[in-house]
Amino acid sequence: MWCNSLRTAVFAAVLIEYLTNGTLLSLKTTNEILGIKEEWKDRVALSAEDYLHGLISLVNELSRYAINVVTLGSFDEPLKISAFVKDLFAGFSMLNLKNDSLRRRFDSLKYDMKKIEEVVYDVSLRKLVSSGASEKTLSEK
């Protein structure tokens, strides 16, 4: 009943966390931020599936964000986004997803990664990225 609303709230929380700190919220921390208490689990709970849907929405938005930050002159940000999204994709790849909506949305991550990689490629090709930023991004891996 509340799935779409919860997924949107998760998306908003993880997007704010990424834009603020460049990190990912855990499921537990997301529950705390959204104010979902353990004693409410018989009435309302944030399932792992809803949390994962929110993360996929985050990646969908980050692919658009990567394009926008380049147009605004921030050429190093797409490298950070790319590293972050690749880590998320690696985590999703370890899951055994059934043929359901989560699996279909997971498949969309490949296209979002491709968009981000194209932005990184274009920025790198034009030598707009500082060499220190690209080395730092690679060393974080």
- Sequence spans of domains, the chain: 3-140
- Tell me the fold of 3-140: Methane Monooxygenase Hydroxylase; Chain G, domain 1 (1.20.58)
User: b vs e for 7-16, b when ≥16 Cβ sit within 10 Å of the residue's Cβ?
Assistant: bebbbebbbe
Q: What is the pLDDT of residues 72-115, one digit of tens each?
A: 988 999 999 999 999 999 999 999 888 788 998 998 999 999 99
- Residue 61 scores a pLDDT above 90: yes
pLDDT at site 97 = 84
Closest CA to 25 of 53, 57, 34, 17: 17
Distance CA 41, CA 43 (A): 5
- Residue 135 scores a pLDDT above 50: no
Q: What is the pLDDT of residues 22-31, one digit of tens each?
A: 999 999 999 9
Contact 75, 123 (CB under 8 A): yes
85, two tokens: 């999204």
The burial of 39, by beta-carbon neighbours within 10 Å (0-12 exposed, 13-18 middle, 19 or more buried), is given as exposed
